[in-house]
Amino acid sequence: MTGKIIKGIGGFYYVVCENGITYECKAKGVFRNRKIKPLVGDNVEIEILDEEKNLGNIEDILPRFNWLNRPAVANVDQTVIIFAVSAPAPNFNLLDRFLINMEQHEVPTVICFNKVDLEGFRQSEDICRSYTKSGYEVLFISAESGYGIVTDVCLKRKIRNYVETVKEDAAGYRIYVKDGVPLNRSDAEAYKALDVDEKTAKEKKKADPELDRKIRDWMCANFYDIRAFGAVMTTFMKAALNCGQVRGPVQLGFARSVEPVIPQEITITRVAITTEADAEKKGTEMGRKYIVPYGLYRCEGYISANLARKTTGFSEEDLSLLWEAILNMFENDHSAARGKMAVRELIVFRHDSELGCAPAWKLFDTVKIARKDPADASPARSFGDYTVSVDESALPAGITCTRMG
């Protein structure tokens, strides 16, 4: 049975398997003889010793696409490094060592600076601008200042949902990461298409060293979200096939509110009682909803034409669909708590060169958001309270700007 190690304590490893059960396992002595130690994050094959007590042995460690020494973990998809901008002062030497380590192991990294309220947002940006210029995604947060965050995972989910709604599983536009569909089920289609099964995979890979790449290309050709965002397709490792981590050309950062937001808790009553026993005791039930009266969020993203051409085959047609999905991703996802959530504008910078004509931060700096009335200190309650401008005179040569929405 295949599973993933989620915890290791004193020679015992806790493995979550495909059936959703966590087994307490020990590693066989062969790993010690080979000087291999199982790590948290490893995909492993286990032998079940006691089904009732959930005990087992780790028989094999499947191939890793990366691993770290400190902390000792394997198959890392993403790291977030958190530093305070003040109290204590940030140790940039230590931060640089972390970043070099992540770059060495090809792990995508987000830098998060906390306690922005102690230094001020602009001062914090000045302290850390060298990292944004180096291409890192940098977040500034503060528990006191109340700035809101929308994660990249949330935004990608909305884009996937829109594409799935519009394309309805048309050829080449299926969605790999979707609710209720195990990744293994989609992976199995690639096996079938290339006439590979788990029993013959090792032999076929020896006969065809390009088999991993062919499976990767098949997945990219059939699943839109893999072509766009990439994927970590580690489930292939069960049969010694390793598509590993496909790095997608489209990357989104966290959306951050322009000003602090004020979440509000609303108490509601419900006349529908859950159980017969409760219905005998009461006629209503209490509940809660959470809303944000208004917030304007800014999200920055990146598209690598070079990766699109060399790795996933992300096309101009795919790009047009992405613009459409971004502009309309909330239109089919309304709810009482976020009924007016919408994308108000999409600003696109196009480069004349595949490798880019200017660093991204220079282009992002040309986009300014300000209050229409700087003297108005009351909370913003509509998009009309702001002006969004692009200083096109400051754009480097080879850059064209298009505003949509």
Q: Which of 139, 163, 348, 359 is nearest to 257 (CA)?
A: 139
CB count in 10 Å sphere of residue 302: 14
Residue with tokens 């935004």: 155
Q: Which of 361, 353, 359, 362 is nearest to 305 (CA)?
A: 353
Cα–Cα distances in angstroms (integers) from residue 221 to residues 170, 171, 313, in the given order: 12, 9, 7
Left, alpha or beta for 253 (phi > 0: left; psi -120 to 50: alpha)? beta
Q: Where are the domains of the chain?
A: 2-62, 67-145, 153-295
Report the half-sphere exposure of 91 (CA within 13 A, side-chain side). Answer: 6
Domain 67-145: give its CATH code. 3.40.50.300
List the structure tokens of 113: 């600076």
* SS3 at position 159: helix
Q: Check residue 385 and report its DSSP letter.
A: G
Between CA 82 and CA 138 the distance in angstroms is 10
* SS3 at position 23: strand
Residue with tokens 């069960």: 238
What per-residue confidence (pLDDT) applies to 315?
Answer: 95
Q: Is the pLDDT of residue 104 over 70?
A: yes
List the structure tokens of 317: 């047609």
Left, alpha or beta for 302 (phi > 0: left; psi -120 to 50: alpha)? beta
What per-residue confidence (pLDDT) applies to 107?
Answer: 86
Q: Residue 340: pLDDT band by 50, 70, 90 thresholds?
A: confident
Run of H or E including 213: helix 211-222
Task: Give the strand pairing for 109-114 and 137-140.
Answer: parallel
Instruction: Match domain 2-62 to its CATH number in 3.40.50.300, 2.40.50.140, 3.40.50.2300, 2.40.50.70.
Output: 2.40.50.140
Higher-pLDDT residue of 12 and 133 is 12
Q: What are phi and psi of 265, to 5 degrees?
A: -100, 125
CB count in 10 Å sphere of residue 262: 13
What per-residue confidence (pLDDT) applies to 237?
Answer: 47
Which range in 73-82, 163-172, 269-278 is most confidently predicted, on average pLDDT? 163-172
Q: Residue 181: pLDDT band by 50, 70, 90 thresholds?
A: confident
Between the two ends of the chain, the Cα-to-Cα distance in Å is 50
Q: What are phi and psi of 49, to 5 degrees?
A: -95, -35
What per-residue confidence (pLDDT) applies to 396?
Answer: 94
Q: Is the fold of 2-62 the same as that of 67-145? A: no
What per-residue confidence (pLDDT) applies to 73?
Answer: 94
Is there a contact between 368 and 258 (Cβ–Cβ < 8 Å)? no
Angle of helix 152-167 versus helix 316-328 axis, rounded to 10 = 110
Left, alpha or beta for 92 (phi > 0: left; psi -120 to 50: alpha)? alpha
